[in-house]
Amino acid sequence: MQAVMTKEDLTEFLERVFPQVRDDFVIESIDGVNTVMRLKVAERHLRPGGTVSGPSMFGLADVSAYVATLARIGKEALTVTTGCSMDFMRKPEAGKDLIAHATLLKLGRTLSVTSILIYSEGSDAPVARANMTYSIPPK
């Protein structure tokens, strides 16, 4: 299953349609099934106690599933989240970026399903996992 958009195409598209997150997320790699993304953790992503906030981790999972889907279907800005289940399993390591490993499990005409594991950079133990469902607009 080949990607129809390159990492560079997707980066440019995200910067154009979601300029508000351009400084937060980096696409590390895509191949049409697997996507690796980075959240560049900054002060605005932290919660009391010096850990990354849940909404920031949700954002990383959500953008990772969006990119994984678009990598296969092309530029469809109105592809939207319709479902999410997320487990926060351990505290992210302070001062480290978060890395999401997203796997596109199903791509249909109207829905995609992606599984995401999120890690503190350099750690082998996931800090969170999510399952995201996206609705794909009709052509």
Domains of the chain: 7-135 (3.10.129.10)
According to the model, what pLDDT value does residue 9 have?
Answer: 95
User: What mean pLDDT do residues 47-74 have?
Assistant: 95
Amino acid at 93: E
User: What mean pLDDT do residues 65-69 have?
Assistant: 97
Report pLDDT digits (tens) over 13-40. Answer: 999 999 998 889 999 999 999 999 999 9
Report pLDDT digits (tens) over 75-113. Answer: 999 999 999 999 999 999 878 999 999 999 999 999 999
Helices H / strands E in the chain, number of each: 2, 8
pTM confidence score: 0.95
Q: What DSSP state is assigned to residue 129?
A: E
Spatial separation of the C-alpha atoms in residues 64 and 61, rounded to whole Å: 5
Tokens of 40: 């560049």
According to the model, what pLDDT value does residue 80 have?
Answer: 96
Residues 6+ apart with CB under 8 A from 20: none
Inter-residue contact 116 to 106 (CB < 8 Å): no
Report pLDDT digits (tens) over 127-138. Answer: 999 999 999 999
Residue 1 has pLDDT above 90, yes or no: no
According to the model, what pLDDT value does residue 81 have?
Answer: 97
| Residue for token pair 């990772």 | 64
Inter-residue contact 132 to 59 (CB < 8 Å): no
122 pLDDT tier (thresholds 50, 70, 90)? very high
| End-to-end Cα spacing for the chain | 20
Q: Quick one: CA dihedral 73, 76, 82, 84, positive or negative? A: positive
According to the model, what pLDDT value does residue 48 have?
Answer: 87
Residues 6+ apart with CB under 8 A from 48: none
Residue 68 has pLDDT above 80, yes or no: yes
